[in-house]
Amino acid sequence: MAIRDPEIIRDKQQMRNWSRSMRSQGKTIGLVPTMGYLHQGHLSLIAEARKHAQLIVVSIYVNPGQFSATEDLSTYPSDFHGDIEKLKSINGGVDVVFNPKDLYDYGGDRERSGGNEVEREGGVVVSCLEDGGGGHETWIRVERLEKGMCGRSRPVFFRGVATVVAKLFNVVEPDVAVFGKKDYQQWRIVQRMVRDLDFGVKVIGAEMIRDEDGLAMSSRNVHLSPQERGQALSISRSLFEAKSAAKGGKTACSELRRSVIESIEAAGGKIDYVEIVDQESLEAVEEIKGGGVVVCVAAWFGKVRLIDNMEIHL
């Protein structure tokens, strides 16, 4: 397998200039946005992007805008050198790694606080990137799709995701962007934002990648103790059992949901949510009648919050 060094770009204007130069040559560009600490799931997104574009840009950026004041973004795992080595070894390689220091830096000589300032909205502490009134204050909200599931327990998360993805689209100017279906609500929110704001980007959802034991691949899995990892397998087991039960005729969502909750709690997990929703609208469904639904789960094992989901088609 050929080893190929990607070009590393850290400046926004340099990134934009590269993309425009490639597009002027008739090249198509695929973007895979990541927060780094890459695993096989991320590499599968790159393989998917290769099917749809000639050149591939992987962004590595831990976005402070999606972390609340109670979430310490400094604990998010990072291994930039290891990430580059993984990207160099994959089939076809990667053309550019976009690794900006701060996507919310607009120049000037103000001393910045690193994106962890705090404000209150309706009594809720949220992440804020404003800097003495002169910093970032524009946010994108996909209002209905962001309300449920992860949006309930992480009220600023999706405004941060939508905003940083829009910024990446404006800087990289890709033709195609690939997101993993593990973050199902995020994928649907980005799709809706692209539709509503007329971005000229095709958003593709790539299938989830699981470890051999069934656990959905996630950068956060590294924080699980061996015992917690074993307990966390209850999530995927309960989802596969729910799918099998639905295929076998048990289509009442209340019963399927209860079985998933009981299985995870019996293993020692703390439920954030278990929802069975329409795959596109993300509205709750009472019974599976033939259209596509997705069972979405968020649960805590120790100090690690894991998400997973299972699409069901009858």
What are the residue ranges in the chain where pLDDT is below 50? Answer: 1, 109-127
How much is the pLDDT for 114?
A: 41
Q: What is the pLDDT of residue 122?
A: 44
Catalytic residue among 39, 42, 52, 223: 42
The per-residue pLDDT for range 48-83, each reduced to its tens digit, is 999 999 999 999 999 988 987 677 677 888 999 999
Q: What's the whole-number average pLDDT of the chain?
A: 90
The 3-class SS string of the chain reads CCCCCCEEECCHHHHHHHHHHHHHCCCCEEEEEECCCCCHHHHHHHHHHHCCCCEEEEEECCCHHHCCCCCCHHHCCCCHHHHHHHHHHCCCCCCEEECCCCCCCCCCCCCCCCCCEEEEECCEEEEECCCCCCCCCCCCCCCCCCCCCHHHHCCCHHHHHHHHHHHHHHHHCCCEEEEECCCHHHHHHHHHHHHHCCCCCEEEEECCCECCCCCECCHHHHHCCHHHHHHHHHHHHHHHHHHHHHHCCCCEHHHHHHHHHHHHHHCCCEEEEEEEEECCCCCECCECCCCCEEEEEEEEECCEEEEEEEEECC
Share of the chain above pLDDT 70, in %: 90
What would the pLDDT profile of 201-224 be if each residue is shown by its tens digit?
999 999 999 999 999 999 999 999
Q: How far apart are CA 215 and CA 234, in angstroms?
A: 9
The pLDDT value given to residue 107: 75
Residue 195, Cβ density class (10 Å: 0-12 exposed, 13-18 middle, ≥19 buried): exposed
Contact criterion met (CB below 8 Å) for 187 and 204: no
pTM of the prediction? 0.91
Is residue 260 within 8 A of residue 242, CB to CB? The reply is yes
pLDDT of residue 247: 95
Is 42 considered catalytic here? yes
